[in-house]
Chain A
Amino acid sequence: MSPDLSRRIAIHRNHIFALIFVAISLGFGIHAWTSMNIGTPADMGPGFFPLMLSLMLTMLSLGVGFVPPEPDEEPLTVVSLRVLVLVLSGPVIFALSIRTLGLLPSVLITVFTVSFASRFARLRNSALLAGGFTAFCVVVFHSLLNLPIPLWGSWITG
Chain B
Amino acid sequence: MSTPAAGSNPARITSEVVAKVAKLASLKLSEDEITLMTSQLSGMLDHFADIDKLDLENVVPLAQPFPLKNVFREDVIVKGLDRDEVLAAAPAAEDGRFRVPPSSGLGEQ
Chains A and B come from one and the same complex: no
